[in-house]
Structure 1
Amino acid sequence: MKLGKGLRLFTALLAVTVMQAAGAADPDKKEIRFGATAGPYADQIRYGVKPILEQQGYKVTIIEFSDYVQPNLALADGAIDANAFQHVVYLKKFSSDRKLALSEIVQVPTAPIGIYSRKHKSLAEVKTGATVSLPNDPTNLARAIAILQQIGWVTLKPGTDAVRASERDIDGNPHKLKLIQLEAAQLPRSLDDVDYAFVNGNFALAAGLKLTTALALEKIPDYYMNLVAVRTSDLNRPYVADIREAYRSQAFKQVTQQRFAGFVAPAYQR
């Protein structure tokens, strides 16, 4: 009896393994698990990309994440097939640090970081000792510090690399700002406690903030445009090409114009 149960278990596990291997090599993959941070990038898939892919016979499942760590780990582990939430600077650093083989396939319309406040109506109202919350992950912290420099609230040491800037690179802080680093998803909640908050566009929109109400918006350089990533081993799979073409389609551009006003358009939509 025990041997029979063991044999059946072995046979079942072998069948699952064979099915998984066959699915990994299947060039006609028709189910796509698409990860994104909750908010606009999930909505871009939901309203713009998913309908296009489903017309081509795919079944598309959207998995939403609340942070910037799990989407890449899930992609590398095979729990999802693609994700949309990050820019190339973050993708390269995260992949290098974690030794993951992930690659960009297409840029997407991107919501800029905005400066928001519930206590002040303009940047000109900044006072000595004002509290300012910023993202704590290195790449988005660097973006916020670059904006602080652009609006004249800090100066950076000569030769500072804008992509890698941190608080250590600040050599001038005339308003004696108190910079408070928080997880990006928590920044909208900080608005009740700080004078100004730098909020990533996706988390701002997910929290009910509008890009048009920001006191200032980031001028996004190309290397901070968000993108779709897949496993590098899947780059030549047909479903990857279909995802890329869905984003580049006229139908998706129309959805972008209707639903995502204020987003910075990728080059293929300009």
Structure 2
Amino acid sequence: MNARRNLLLAALTVGLGLAAPAHAKDPKELVIGTSAGPYADQIKLGIKPILEKQGYKVKLVEFNDYIQPNFALAEGSLDANVFQHIIYLKKFSADHKLALTDLVQIPTAPIAIYSQKHKTLNDAKEGTTVALPNDPTNQARALVLLDQLGWIKLKDKVDPLRASEKDIAANIRKIKLIPLEAAQLPRSLQDTDYSFVNGNYALASGLKLKDSLLREKISPNYVNLVAVRTADKDKQFAKDIAAAYRSREFLDITNKRFADYAKTDDQLALEAGGPAKTAAK
């Protein structure tokens, strides 16, 4: 499995033109991986200009899945990545024995329910098809929302962060659940009655948050973040990335271009007139 993974990473590095491992290049050259869509746009519009003013050369590499960015970061092809929340990062790192660490939170678009066939959630009936993410952490988010809607009933005392289909005690509306890879969920709207879509993929596909039928209230566990290698968390480039996300300049970009997103605690503190954090975690 490790040999196969290494071959895939080697091909990915060549195919995407990723940089060599961080120790072999100029420390002022940063390679940041992200998912296509809003989090890439946040970097392009807000973070990259701030870092370039400090003398950095920033290269952005966009991925179309939630798997390769962490492997590429751990192997040294990336200096940081931006696409995941803390629950996913911790589980993925533990499962694959990767030394990765969260650095700073970012403005986050919520997971939400969309439909091209229905204008209301009240249309759900027996046989209604509902697509949802197939990765464990995001599927749990969808199942909790379905429980809140009253479409399903989860078992008593189930951990909402780890809920899975086996934790469904009753399918009250007799809906048909269709687990799919997160990137496929926007396209699934052509075939399903309803689909849960992660915020980044929704916006990348042209969906608008205001057009969703139900949005989650994001808990701290699901706020997206910048990840770095654990060995790099106290390096100057990591501190500079964190400071850029915590800056008033980036807050202004957030208010202008990402107004529907859940802001970070640092940004809320700035808006309230207080200081944001100044050091990386």
Asked if these proteins are the same fold (TM beyond 0.5), I'd say yes
Partner residue in 1 for 2:237? 239
Runs of 4 or more consecutive aligned structure 1 residues displaced over 3 Å after TM superposition: none
How far is the alpha carbon of 1:129 from its aligned partner?
Answer: 1.2
After the TM superposition, which residues 121-270 of structure 1 pair with which residues of structure 2 at under 5 Å, given as runs?
121-270=119-268
Partner residue of 2:273?
A: none
Preserved contact between residue 74 and residue 99 of structure 2 (Cα < 8 Å): yes
Superposition RMSD in Å: 1.3
Q: Name the structure 1 match of 2:9.
A: none
Alpha-carbon distance in 1 for matches of 2:198, 2:166: 22
Give the distance between the partners of 2:192 and 2:27, measured in 1 at CA: 48
The answer on 1:32 being equivalent to 2:24 is: no
Q: Deviations over 1:118-154 (max 9, x none)?
A: 1100111112210000000000000100111111111
SS of aligned partner of 1:74? helix
Aligned to 1:58: 56
Contact 2:46–2:253, Cα closer than 8 Å, also in 1: yes
Matching residue of 1:78: 76
Larger radius of gyration: 1
Cα distance, 1:175 vs structure 2: 1.0
Distance in 2, matches of 1:261 and 1:123, equals 25
SS in 2 for 1:141: helix
Note if contact 2:28-2:56 (Cα within 8 Å) is conserved in structure 1.
Answer: yes
Which residue identity does 2:215 align to in structure 1? L
Residue among 111, 114, 125 paired with 2:112: 114
Aligned counterparts of 1:199 and 1:261: Cα–Cα separation in 2: 19
Report the equivalent of 1:4. none
Deviation at 1:262, TM superposition (A): 1.1
In 2: Cα distance, 1:260 partner to 1:124 partner: 30
Cα distance in 2, alignment partners of residues 193 and 204 from structure 1: 16
Helix, strand or coil for the counterpart of 2:189? helix
Greater Cα offset, 85-94 or 149-158:
149-158
1:31-67 CA deviation, whole Å, 9 max, x = no partner?
1001000000111111000000000000000000000
Q: Distance in 2 between matches of 1:95 and 1:174?
A: 36
What CA distance in whole angstroms lies between the structure 2 residues aligned with 1:269 and 1:242?
16
Question: Taking every aligned residue pair, what percent have the same amino acid on both sides?
Answer: 59
Aligned amino acid, residue 42 of structure 1: A
User: What amino acid maps onto 1:124 in structure 2?
Assistant: N
User: 1:44-55 residue pairs with structure 2 within 5 A?
Assistant: 44-55=42-53
DSSP-derived class of the 1:109 partner: coil
Does 2:100 match 1:102? Answer: yes
Structure 1 counterpart of 2:163, which letter? Answer: A
| Alignment partners' CA distance in 1, 2:123 and 2:129 | 12
Gaps of 5+ in 1: 1-19
CA distance in 2, matches of 1:178, 1:212: 25
For residue 12 of structure 1, what is the aligned residue in structure 2? none
Mapped to 2, the partners of 1:229 and 1:183 lie a distance apart of 22
Using structure 2 for the length normalisation, give the TM-score. Answer: 0.87
Counterpart CA distance in 1 for 2:233 and 2:104 is 11
Pairwise CA distance, 1:25 = 8.7
Counterpart of 1:65, as a letter, is F
- Residue of structure 1 equivalent to 2:7: none
Which residues of structure 2 form unaligned runs of 5+? 1-19, 269-281
